[in-house]
Chain A
Amino acid sequence: MVQELQNIVNTVRGNKGLDPVAAIGDETRLREDLGMDSLDLAELTVRIESVFQVDVFEDGVVNTVEEILAKIGEKK
């Protein structure tokens, strides 16, 4: 699950010319640590939705990897 999320994160980063991150953890912040802006977060959410069938930003702001994992329904 975390690995899959990391792959998605790296796809989004790759699409904007950023290097892949070697690891993500609960505390990893999407904007500050992963360098995502609001449009990247939109891309992230549709990619997550296409894999996990969950729209993680549907009911509110999500800031960290832990919060995404919680929404996907399986915390590491």
Chain B
Amino acid sequence: MNILLTGASRGLGLKIAEHLLSSGHTVYGVSRSKSDQLNALQEAYPDQLQFAAYDLTDASNIKTALFDELIGSDIPLHGFVNNAAMAYDDIITNLKVEPLQEMYQVNVISPFMIVRNVIRHALLHRNPCSIVHVSSISVHTGYKGLAMYASTKGALEAFSKNTAREWGSRGVRSNAIVAGFMETDMSSTLSAEQKERIYRRTALKEATRPESVAEMAAFLLSDKAASVTGQNLFVDSGTI
């Protein structure tokens, strides 16, 4: 399969890239920077990994940069993993417009524009295609300081369900993985005590493993998930 993956440079995205590459798939990876780890993957899979540096705060050049230049119109695309995101966290009374807009641009508007082009691409090639959004448990549980961030993920979940409904008859599936807290850069500002409190709210009493989320992403992308669409799949250590 040919898979477009955003946020490939670090954290969960890197794990998903690794998983897909080692299973023999081609990954079109996107992030602002190319990390050492991604460079290492590039060396290990020189023919399977194509990378484009792109800043998703810019939604206007997505078609040109990602679809015309990175993927090219001749190559069919079988899946898209919307993984890149940023977290602007603060309590609501401190809310500022600029960081809020930037976060919506990266987490919501650019992903929507990518989906637009993914579906158009699939229509052209007439191939089934699977879209996987990485959402967050914060949508469903609520955490202090995460209202703005969680709202971007809620938008993705709604968009995903409606994508599934609108385009299912054309072989497009769309699902969201509701990920629990993972030990990545994104959560690195939390103190050990804060993390402990979050993990205590889970059945497994531990952080969500990126490998487990990557496994779910690979499943949703594959034909094994042919009848799964419009769903939110919780991979969250059983958050309660």
- The listed residue (A15, A42, A43, A50) touching B73 by CB distance below 8 A is A50
A39 interfacial by beta-carbon distance below 8 Å: yes
A29 interfacial by beta-carbon distance below 8 Å: no
Give the residues in chain B near A42, CB-CB below 8 Å.
Answer: 119-120, 123
**Once the chains are docked, how many angstroms separate the CA of A46 from the CA of B121?**
8
**Once the chains are docked, how many angstroms separate the CA of A47 from the CA of B125?**
9
- Nearest A residue to B116 via CB reads A42
- Nearest A residue to B170 via CB reads A39
Interface residues of chain B: helix, strand, loop or mixed (majority): helix
Q: How many cross-chain pairs have Cβ atoms below 8 Å apart between A and B? A: 19
Give the residues in chain A near B169, CB-CB below 8 Å.
Answer: 39
- The listed residue (B73, B121, B126, B167) touching A39 by CB distance below 8 A is B167
Give the residues in chain A near B123, CB-CB below 8 Å.
Answer: 42-43, 46-47
Q: Would you list which residues of chain B between 44 and 102 have a CB under 8 Å from chain A?
A: 73
B204 interfacial by beta-carbon distance below 8 Å: no
- Nearest A residue to B166 via CB reads A39
Give the residues in chain B near A50, CB-CB below 8 Å.
Answer: 73, 124
| Cross-chain contact A47 with B170 (CB below 8 angstroms) | no
| Cross-chain contact A46 with B120 (CB below 8 angstroms) | yes
Give the residues in chain B near A43, CB-CB below 8 Å.
Answer: 123-124, 170
B interface vs A, CB < 8 Å? 73, 119-121, 123-124, 126, 166-167, 169-170
